[in-house]
Amino acid sequence: MATPKKKSVLRTTLLVLPAQVVFRAGEALLPLLLAYWFGRSGATDVYYFAWAVFAFAGSLVFTAFQDSALVPILAEERIDRREELPRLIGSLLSYTWAIGGAIAVAVGLVAMGWFAYRYQGPDFTLAATMVVPFSIYLVAMATRTFFATLLASQHHFVVQPVSSGVGMALNIGILAFGHDRFGVVLVPVAALVGEIVASAVLAWFTLRIVGLRIELGFVRPPALVRFAKLVVAEVGGSAVTRVNPVVDQLMAGLSLVVGGGTMLRYSGDVASLPTSILQASLLPVLLAHLSDDFAARDLEAVRRKVVRAVASVFGILLAASILLYAIRGPLLRFVFLRGEMDVAGVDRMIQILPYHLVGLAPFGVLLVLARAHVAVKNSTIMLSMGVLNTVCNALFNLVLLRAIGLEGLALSTSCVQAAVAVVFWFRFDARLDALKKGVAAAT
């Protein structure tokens, strides 16, 4: 594995951003198309609840690689044990398929049981039909994020949006031709096909263009063991946090608003669009640079880049939230008030959106600081942070749903994001101080 050529964080982000905007536009367009094709109904609520269940399960698989401890570990291995990299990478991929496949089967069985308890009649049939494509989707997602992380660790950032764009184009094309005939049940099938194609594009580029060697097998080099220990905390924290969308959907059902879960999801998608661009363009670049700096033990560079990233992200997302608030009415009517979506549903989303926007800037800061902790191999805090996130979300949900309805669920998420961002910062500052003392003692 060759030593990657690096540009600055800002320059790389600006180079990656156009590719992200162009090739990942389909991800922003998909919720709008789903609203156009399917509107809001009991069937869409079933789909979004099933999606929330498998998104929670997916956190047990795909977060093992996405912006994970694998990046700083690969950075160190390139310096210390370059010749061991093909076996390390091959073992990671082999264990991903084996463990991911087992988890997917288990999750599918549990989901089937839960759907049988929750739904009856046509709703159960719909939910049960989604189980197989959603289960296979988890393994495909893990494969895609594995190859995307390998490329990011080599400072190849543009291939990921290109592959996602190709997969999403196929996803949308399948839905465009088949939504009338098959209905909502086609959505997870189309997503699965798109994910497989995106994975294939990334794998081809990794092996053929970059020329990375992969030796499949189940050996356990020391780096794999270290990665496993770190990633357990990351996965645990993410898994706990992923309970939140499921809880939010359940609480939305308690509001007795028809399509309440769907409206909460659609308005949240609009509010989170700026952070989705941030996650796709800046954060992988930042993690790769911070990991390289940490591998070189340049802690001052780590702190400097994190502070700059936090300040920049907060300012940009604050401006974005103000803009979205100002244009929320015309924007939501333009993008949603067509097809099967009704006027009352759009008007309610216009009321909900500002409560999502309250947490937009804090959420961006949270994302930056989470990557900073991963880069300095402080992933062990993720489980406790996930517990904090989930407990706060449940408490805020109970209070705010009763106080202001669906809008309270959106505000609950925003309050949690702000609280977690603050805690993340103080724990990162403490981690750097401890590392500096360790370096000083060693010298």
Residue 417 CA to residue 367 CA, distance in Å, equals 10
Mean pLDDT to the nearest integer, 84-90: 89
Comparing CA positions, the residue from 283, 225, 293 lying closest to residue 76 is: 293
The dihedral formed by the CA atoms of 48, 54, 60 and 61, expressed in degrees to the nearest 10: -110
Indicate whether 2 pLDDT > 60. Answer: no
Residue 443 CA to residue 175 CA, distance in Å, equals 61
Q: For residue range 111-146, what is the model confidence (pLDDT) as tens digits?
A: 888 888 888 888 888 888 888 998 899 899 889 989
Q: What percent of the chain has pLDDT over 70?
A: 88
Mean pLDDT to the nearest integer, 385-398: 88
Question: What is the value of pTM for the model shown?
Answer: 0.74
Q: For residue range 59-70, what is the model confidence (pLDDT) as tens digits?
A: 666 667 877 888
Q: For residue range 18-53, what is the model confidence (pLDDT) as tens digits?
A: 666 665 666 767 877 887 888 767 778 888 778 877
Residue 40 DSSP code: S
Q: Which residues contact 375 (CB under 8 A, 6 or more apart)?
A: 71, 72, 287, 290, 291, 293, 294, 302
Look at 102 and 234; give whichever has higher pLDDT. 102
Helix (H) or strand (E) holding 145: helix 131-153
pLDDT of residue 5: 55
Asked if 49 contacts 119 with a C-beta cutoff of 8 angstroms, the reply is: no
Look at 323 and 11; give whichever has higher pLDDT. 323
Through-space distance between the first and last CA atoms of the chain, rounded to whole angstroms: 31
Q: Which of 81-85, 304-308, 321-325, 347-351 has the lowest mean pLDDT?
A: 81-85
Q: For residue range 281-293, what is the model confidence (pLDDT) as tens digits?
A: 788 888 888 988 8
Residue 352 CA to residue 40 CA, distance in Å, equals 16
pLDDT of residue 439: 67
Indicate whether 364 pLDDT > 70. Answer: yes
Exposed, middle or buried by CB within 10 Å (0-12, 13-18, 19+), for 402?
exposed
Residue 215 CA to residue 235 CA, distance in Å, equals 25
Q: For residue range 318-355, what is the model confidence (pLDDT) as tens digits?
A: 999 999 999 999 988 887 877 666 788 888 889 999 99
Comparing CA positions, the residue from 195, 178, 248, 196 lying closest to residue 33 is: 178
Which sign does the torsion angle of CA 415, 61, 27, 265 carry?
A: negative
Residue 229 CA to residue 23 CA, distance in Å, equals 35
pLDDT of residue 355: 93
Mean pLDDT to the nearest integer, 357-373: 92
Asked if 373 contacts 431 with a C-beta cutoff of 8 angstroms, the reply is: yes
Residue 327 CA to residue 434 CA, distance in Å, equals 46
